[in-house]
Structure 1
Amino acid sequence: MRALLIDMDGTLVETETRWWQAEIDVMQKHGSTWDIDDQNLAIGGPLSAVVDYMADKSKTEAENIYQELVDSMYKSFTEVAPELQPGWSDILNQAKKSDLQIALVTASNRLLAEALLKSSNLEKHFDVVVASDDLPRTKPHPDPYLHAAKLLGVEVLDCLVFEDSNTGVTSSLAAKMPTIALPGRVLLDERRGMKILQTLKGMNLQDLEKIHKELVKEWQDH
């Protein structure tokens, strides 16, 4: 295990409630609604797909929805730093003292990713950021994870990915990367090369190394 590749929203930090409120506010502004079914469809993004869905439902230009949503989330991230999900503080600090490299791989755009890292004082932990506007294709395609591995100079099986959504795990598994899924509200099925955990609380790098080895074996045995 040479690199940790971490999804942002819902995986590294608790932001889903903020996204939900921002989406409700934007849709109400345009005379439409946003309920739990809409929110469940939106979890994992990518941002462009969520915006297109919102624009279609509200009969509003996608460009306007995109800008309003990004403005709202940027304001939210810069005013109050989102909370790290349980377990990450210890893992990130341990990783920084090791020779592991870390990438943030998000379906949000770079503006929001960098705003979140800055407000949460996490910039020092990440060697690379791959955002949705960095590549022609984002999640659920494998491109973001393959690009992150290339930037870090590591092979796909040397990576351990952390995701919380179907969109995210579809992306990382398409890249043939060992993946830990932290589903939260999302229902995920077991898949080859992936382990589902309810939390990272109480876990350390040795625990992650063990899981990584098991997942690598799954990939190599098929």
Structure 2
Amino acid sequence: MGFPVSLRVDDEDVPERAADEVFAWLREVDARFSPYRPDSEVCRYDRGELARQELSDDLVEVLDLCEHYRRATGGAFDARLPGRGLDPNAVVKGWSVQRAADLLRAAGARRFVLNAGGDVVAAGGPWRVGVRHPEHADKLCAVLEVTDGAVATSARYERGDHIVDGRTGRPATGLLSLTVVASSLTEADSVATAAFAMGAEGIGWAASLPGCEVFAVDADGQVLRTEGFPVARQDPAPG
């Protein structure tokens, strides 16, 4: 899916096959949901080769989540941007990694960290999770303490202006980065991307959602965070 994945499990009695199942699931997701593989379920549906009623339950769930966030953001978040094919990756990443974490729990894991391209599911903490400084790759702008939950960040520093505001069709540039902490990575990752697409107004929108804590750096380098954001230690604010 275009991002590195690392896994740490501290439970001694969890079978090694649990990790194998995690990575096998993520490879399956890449094959089934990639908008870049012509034979994927997503691409076949986008070309009209599959009807809605023929889709897997998994893809129906993903598409429903995409539609939920499209409506919730007034179209800023949209898996069907003009001139592009269907691309549900903004939801698929967090959804699939959360499902992988659920596989670990089903195998008996109680203390673990699953990191997928900087987005994290943590269990049995406290764990310390760093938030990268949006302008300096060798610095952190915050360190979180997470016991059980998920952390996701949307930003411009890795892939440039890749998040598009579906209302305008132009890259979203109102923020440098936005981090969301929630109970699941499905929610944290989707909300982070959707809020980033909204620009500065997305901070308040994400902060208003029950169970979501937000840390954002706007285009001027100003830091804004919700009162409950679980900061363990914070470095000097970006500036």
The normalised TM-score by structure 1 is 0.29
**Between structures 1 and 2, the one with greater helix share:** 1
How high is the TM-score relative to the length of structure 2? 0.28
Higher strand fraction: Structure 1 or Structure 2?
2
Higher relative contact order by CA 8 Å / sep ≥ 6: 1 or 2?
1
